[in-house]
Amino acid sequence: MNYYCANSSFEKAQIVIVGVPYDGTSSFRPGSRFAPNAIRENSYGIESYSPYFDKDLREKKICDMGDMPLPFGDKAFVLDIIEKFSYKLIKNRKKLLSIGGEHLITFPLIKTFANKYQNISVVHLDAHSDLIDSYRSEKLSHASVIRRVCEIVGFENVYQLGIRSLNSTDLNLPYRKENLCLFNFDKAQDFVERIGDRPVYLTIDLDVLDPSIFPGTGTPEPGGVTYKELIDCLKKLSVLNIVGCDIVELSPQYDTSGVSSIVAASVAREVLCFL
C-alpha cells in the first residue's frame, strides 16, 4: 500500500517516500518498526488537501518506494543499508521523506545528505535532546542520535526545538544555549533567519507532541506542544531550503484508538505539501 496520492513513478517524482522500519535500539517501548505501514494505511482517512498550506497532494509528483529491506539484529548492517539506499534515492535530486522507525535512522540519513550537500543544517523537533554521548555504553542509539549528528555536521549547524527532556550537561555542549529551544517553538523564526538559504535536513520526532494528542510512541513525555503549534512551526520552517526530512517514533500499537497513526499521517501530509 502506498501513501495516499503517492502514485508517481520514480523517474517523474519530485518527492520520494521510503519507510525505514527499524527500532533495534528502543530504550523503553519498542514497536516503531510498525509505523510506516500504519502511516500509509491511515493516510487514506484524511483529505489530500491541506488547509494549512493551501496545497493538494494531487498536484504533487510523489513516489512511495515502500520500505527499505532491513534485517533484524545486525545494527551496523542496518545502518549501512539505510545510508546506501537513501543515497540511491537522492542522487538524482529527489526530495526524500523517510518514515521511521526509531530516531537512530536519522544518523545514516544525515551521513548521506551531508555527503551530497555541503554546509547542511539540521532542524530537530523533539521532546528529547538525544544529545547524550552514549546510552548504557552504546554510542549508536536513538537516545544519542543527535550527538552523532552534531559530530557530522557541526554543533553550530544543529537547531533544536520543543525539547523538554535532557541532561543538565547538554546545556554545556557547544552552541546549545543559542541553538536549543526548550518547551516550545519560540526560536523557530530566529533559526530560520540564521540558517538563510543553506540546505536543511528536518527531523521530526513525533513525541514532540503532547501525549494527550499523541500517546502512540515509545517514550511519551508530558508537557508537549499541540498539533496546531506544530503546524505553525512547520509553516515557519517551510520557507527554508529543505532537501530531506524524516518523521520518526510512532509506535501505533500503544494507541488502540488509532488516533496517533492518523496524526502521524497528517504530519506527513503537511511535510509533503511544502517539500
| Structure confidence at residue 21 (pLDDT) | 97
Residue 254: C-alpha distances to residues 99, 233, 249 (Å) = 18, 26, 12
Helices and strands in the chain: count of H runs, count of E runs: 8, 10
User: What is the C-alpha to C-alpha distance for residues 234 and 223, in angstroms, rounded to an integer?
Assistant: 19
Residue 103 in marked binding region: yes
Mean pLDDT, the chain, whole residue set: 96
Residue 126 in marked binding region: yes
pLDDT in tens, 223-243: 999 999 999 999 999 999 999
Which stretches of 59-113 are assigned E, i.e. beta strand? 62-67, 95-100
pLDDT in tens, 150-168: 999 999 999 999 999 999 9
Residue 142 in marked binding region: no
Task: Provide CB contacts within 8 A for 256, sequence distance 6+.
Answer: none
Q: What is the percentage of the chain residues whose pLDDT exceeds 90? A: 92
61 with 12: CB under 8 angstroms? yes
Residue 67 in marked binding region: no
CATH of domain 15-274: 3.40.800.10
Length of the chain: 275
Does pLDDT of 215 surpass 90? yes
Does pLDDT of 27 surpass 80? no
Residue 205 in marked binding region: yes
Q: How confident is the model at residue 206 (pLDDT cuts 50, 70, 90)?
A: very high
DSSP-based helix, strand, coil % in the chain, nearest 5: 40, 20, 40
Whole-model pTM: value is 0.97
DSSP 213: T
Does pLDDT of 72 surpass 90? no
User: What is the C-alpha to C-alpha distance for residues 39 and 263, in angstroms, rounded to an integer?
Assistant: 9
| Structure confidence at residue 138 (pLDDT) | 86
Going from N- to C-terminal start, the domains of the chain cover: 15-274
